[in-house]
Copies of this chain bind each other. A is one copy, B any other.
């Protein structure tokens, strides 16, 4: 494999000049540049990224910490992130953090950090403990994509606005008993903001909000106001909610499953709204009304934030970019049949 010296020899210049050409430094005459480029062409020279990284003590690797690659929401945004990063000359390195175990996640992060990535993108919540934050923050720029954290830059949808959008839609359809369902294991802090949006929309409409339902998909039971209840009792019927706003699509789809299994018709007996607009949601058999996150925008902005930090054009305290959610109405919502 040819090195910079081989190119220099062939072009009849010094290695430094070749380096200047390769890196696009200005101050190289047109003639020389052409000669060098020709030599590069002939030899099929490719700069050794390892050597470059070594001497500069930084890479063009973008480390990405993913909550669960298998979750279509993450898969989707990971894919877009990869594309935008690539367009900007960065290679992405994914680490899958499967939530549960903070120690495990930490070892993962350390392995990633050993590769000295130029920056780290979080697609998962991580690093509650202050020392981890400090360690990470000191060594590399950090950006949160799709979620908001205070200790780093972030670009995210306004979750409260999205929550309000979803809830307003249900109110407009005539629903008054609207429940908010959150799925702890899938849940991120984003859920709290979505809940606030839900509350404010109901308040504005003069309707009362029900206590949030904490439900683990697959379970028959849920928690409300700290007490355990049967989920079935909370849905449909004379007293139950006529509509639910689930804090994310995966939870919402699980809710559809639950309804199917228990003979609750959607949307006749129960309207369901999700959040994220994962691909799944658009399948005819699911057809979930949901709040869309503009993933392309999120990915693009996230990479831009990172690049700005890297080239020094952005400094100072964390910057938080907000993008707008939008409502996607499908067939899991309808006016209540028994208002």
Chain A residues within CB distance 8 Å of chain B: 46-51, 53-54, 57, 59, 61, 68-72, 75-76, 78-79, 82-83, 86, 91-96, 108, 110-112, 114-116, 253, 256-257, 260-261, 279-280, 283-286
Contact = CB atoms under 8 A, between A and B. Distances in A.
Given A54-B53, A116-B50, A261-B284, A93 B92 contact: yes
Contacts of A82: 69, 94-96
Contact of A75 (B51, B53, B70, B112): B70
A91 B108 CA distance: 9
A111 B93 contact: no
A54 to B, nearest CB: 4
Nearest to A74: B75
Given A69-B75, A78-B69, A79-B69, A49 B116 contact: yes
A91 B115 contact: yes
Most chain B beta carbons < 10 A, residue from A57, A82, A253: A82
Contacts of A68: 79
A261 to B, nearest CB: 7
A75 B67 CA distance: 12
Contacts of A110: 46
Contacts of A253: 283
Given A70-B279, A253-B283, A285-B286, A49 B115 contact: yes
A23 to B, nearest CB: 15
9 contacts: A49-B114, A53-B54, A69-B76, A70-B79, A70-B279, A86-B108, A91-B115, A92-B94, A260-B284
A94 B81 CA distance: 11
B70 A115 contact: no
A111 B284 CA distance: 39
A115 B61 contact: yes
A2 to B, nearest CB: 14
A95 B94 CA distance: 10
Nearest to A286: B285
Nearest to A53: B50
Given A78-B69, A86-B111, A96-B82, A50 B46 contact: no
Contact of A50 (B59, B69, B93, B111): B59
B46 A114 contact: yes
A279 to B, nearest CB: 7
Given A61-B115, A70-B279, A285-B286, A91 B83 contact: no
